[in-house]
Each structure stands twice: as C-alpha cells, then as structure tokens.
Amino acid sequence: MENFNFYSPTEFVFGMGRESECGEYVKKHGGHKVLLHYGGGSAVRSGLLDRVKESFEKSGVGYCELGGVQPNPRDTLVYKGIELCRCEGADMIVAVGGGSVIDSAKAIAAGVPYEGDFWDFYSGKAPEKALPVGVVLTIAAAGSEGSPDSVITKEEGMLKRGTGADILRPKFSILDPELTQTLPPYQTACGATDIMAHVFERYFTNTKDVEITDRLCEAVLLTMVKETPRVISDPDDYQARANIMWAGMVAHNNIVGVGRQQDWNSHGLEHELSGLYDCAHGAGLAVIMPAWMEFVYKHDIMRFCQMATRVFSCDMDYACPENTAYEGIRCFRNFLHSIGMPINFQELGAREEDIPVLVEKLGIGSGKRAGFVELSSEDAAEIYRIAAHAEL
C-alpha cells in the first residue's frame, strides 16, 4: 500500500425527508444568502425545490435562484451564476440535483472569488478559494456530493474538462433516497454504471497488497449487482435506493481508492464521447469500460480473475485463467445490457467515423497516458474500435 492522506470533511445528512433540514445546515455552515442552483425541471415538478425554499424561509436564510443546468453542464451557465452571486452577494451555493448541478455549483463557487476566467481551473490551474457548497442530491451516480471534483463542458467546441481540489468538497450533502424514486429507469441505470465505473477505475491497479481497499471495492460492486435490478424492477424500493445512494458516495469520495495507483482512462475516453455526442456519462461508460477491460486484461489476468470470481461468481478455470478473466468482462457487459445500458457505438448513438476526432480531443498526441496500462493515441483508438463493435 502507498502512503496517503484522506480528507473528507463533508457532513452527510442521510435519510427520508431530511431535505426539510436544508436551511438549518446552510446556517450551521455559515451561509446567510444562498444561490439555489438546480437543473432542467425534475426538482420543480417533484415539489422538492419548494420544500427546500420553505426550509430556507423557516431558518431565515435568504436566497436567489438559477435553474437550467443541463446534463453535461455548460460553461455559459457558470458565467451567469458567477455574475448572479456577485450581484446578489451570495455567500453559499446550494445545488439541488445530480452531478451536473453539483459540478456547475462547484464551478461557480470557485469562480466567484477569482478575478480571472473560471475556465482556468479546467485548464490545469488549481482553485485556491471557493464559496462553500451544500447539496441536496437527487440521483445516485457521479458521487460529486462527496468528491473534490467538477466536470464542465465548454460550449464552444464541446470540450469537457475537469478540475479537483479539496476546497470544492461540499460542506454538507443531504441524501434522501426517496428523492431518487422519480428517476426514469434509464437514468437509474446510467447512475449505477457510473458508480461501478468509479470503483473499477480504482480496482484495476498495479499496487500490491491493497487487500482492504480491494475488499471495500468488491463490497460496493456486489451491492450494485444485487440492488440495481431491484430498483429497475421496482423504482419505489426505498431500501434498495438507500443502498445504492450510499454506494454512490462511497464509490467516489476515495475511501475505496486510497493507498493505491488508480486508472482514470475509461473516464477520459468517455468524457470525449459525452462531450461530442452529449450522451449520458453513465451510458458512455457502459460502452467504454468493458472495451477498455478487453484491451488491458492480459496485463494482469489474475486481477481480472479476482473480479470475475468475487464479483460475478464465475468459476475459476485453473487450467486457463485467461478464460475466467474474459468471462468476468463478459458478465459485466451482460449485466450492463440487462439493466438497459447501450453496449456499442450504435446503441449509444456514436459513430465509428468519429474515432480520429475523439482521439484528437483526448490530447495524448505522441505521448502516453499513465494508468494500469499506459495508453498511446493508437491504443485509445483501438479501445474506441472495440467499443464500436462490441456484442454480447
């Protein structure tokens, strides 16, 4: 295991109806005037936004509001949010929504105290100051409610880029599983895929002797394999929703990834897909992640066998471990298909002819991207080709 620091200061407020306490948590974390930030309408339709406003009024918290965050959130709305916060004197941002709304809130939070263009933070500069962010989560997926990360798409050129800094971790995150019951099955499945991908990006490592984090990773994966079909068949299954919601947080606040080398190449490859086609991040991952696995599994067959036997209960083929490793990947792709995810470019709405564009946008050039297996531009193109043609 490698040396590490683990700093995860977010206060998690978990359970049914807890959004009614939002105003109290704003006050507790020093907010007086809030920018209430939300998405395209689900929080309005469900009445959640009104309940959050009511809690502000009860607690004497002032607010202004900015809705309209799109999935794959855009820089253009971030600029509006920064302006609005400055005009209104907002001292905290409360995101009501999923990863897109939270990431947009984090971008605004970093942009308000910064004199330059907030996009600098998505071009390599680390933010040093930010307004505090609070969250009312409505979808278990991106894990932004507990992560230091934010991913924004620059509308000009549809360039999707991320930043990360501990000051961007939310001060508090309210997680009410009941709020996720209105999710359409497709979004539920996209979220489940993203959660599993966040674990796999940590699981496939070259670091030895990481038994504790291996086992934590497997616990999250096993939970997702068990609970996702339950919520797909019964969207109102509160207990299954509750397990998935906490799994989404655990998968990405890095408790399962400390002390080990990680590999974020599937996410990198996916971000170019959702940047170019504006598809759901989880759907893009469903196409990319098994393709990446097929490309790299020979690098460490026994690690893939571990995944196959422990997560998907495959029988170990001692005479030919490669068969078991490959079977694990097949089980993963079948699982994604069974929950309604696309498995190849055609099902995703992507085009094989665009592979050179995707590779160009990845920006590996003539170098290599670090990871479990280092990737060249040609390797990335091959993974996209495997993804383009994948079958069950």
- Over the window 320 to 359, marking each residue x when it contacts ligand NZQ by CB under 6 A and - when it does not, the resulting string is ----------------------------------------
Asked if 163 interacts with ligand NZQ (CB under 6 A), we say: no
Q: Where are the alpha helices (DSSP H) in the chain?
A: 22-28, 42-45, 48-59, 75-88, 99-111, 185-203, 211-233, 238-252, 265-277, 281-296, 301-311, 321-338, 345-348, 355-362, 377-389
Q: Which residue has the tokens 């993974």?
A: 383
Binding window for ligand NZQ (CB under 6 A); candidates: 9-17, 96-104, 291-299, 362-370:
96-104
284: partner contacted, choices Zn ion, ligand NZQ, none (Cβ within 5-8 A by kind): none
* Cross-strand pairs, 164: 149
CB of 16 to Zn ion, least distance (A): 26
Binding-site member from 19, 149, 294, 327 for ligand NZQ (CB under 6 A): 149
Is 367 a binder of ligand NZQ (CB under 6 A)?
Answer: no
Q: At what angle do helices 265-277 and 355-362 cross, to 10 degrees?
A: 120
Measure the CA–CA gap between 94 and 104, rounded to whole angstroms: 11
DSSP string, 236-283: T-HHHHHHHHHHHHHHHSSTTTTTS----HHHHHHHHHHHHH---HHH
In the 8-state DSSP scheme, what is residue 369? B
User: In angstroms, what is the minimal distance from the CB of 163 to ligand NZQ?
Assistant: 9
Kindly tell me which residue out of 94, 135, 139, 288 binds ligand NZQ, with binding defined by CB under 6 A: 139
Stretch that binds ligand NZQ, among 27-35, 138-146, 286-294, 354-362 (CB under 6 A): 138-146
DSSP state of 84: H
Structure tokens at 320: 């030919």
Region near ligand NZQ per CB under 6 A, out of 11-19, 58-66, 95-103, 359-367: 95-103
Binding site for Zn ion (CB under 5 A): 194
> Per-residue x/- marks for ligand NZQ, 54-73, CB under 6 A?
-----------------xx-
Residue 235 binds to ligand NZQ (criterion: CB under 6 A): no
Interface with ligand NZQ includes 110 (CB under 6 A)? no
User: 133 or 151, CB closer to ligand NZQ?
Assistant: 151
CB distance 146 to 252 below 8 Å? yes
- Per-residue buried b or exposed e for 208-242, using 16+ beta carbons within 10 Å of the residue's own CB: eebeebbebbbebbebbbebbbebbeebebeebbb
For the bound state, the minimum distance from the C-beta of residue 358 to ligand NZQ, rounded and expressed in Å, comes to 15
104 near ligand NZQ, judged by CB under 6 A: no
3-class DSSP state for residue 192? helix
Phi, psi of 175, deg, nearest 5: -120, 100
Nearest approach in angstroms of CB 184 to ligand NZQ is 7
Min CB(194)–Zn ion separation in Å? 4
Give the residues lining the site for ligand NZQ (CB under 6 A).
39-43, 71-72, 97-101, 103, 138-139, 141-144, 147, 149-151, 179-180, 182-183, 187, 191, 194, 252, 267, 281-282
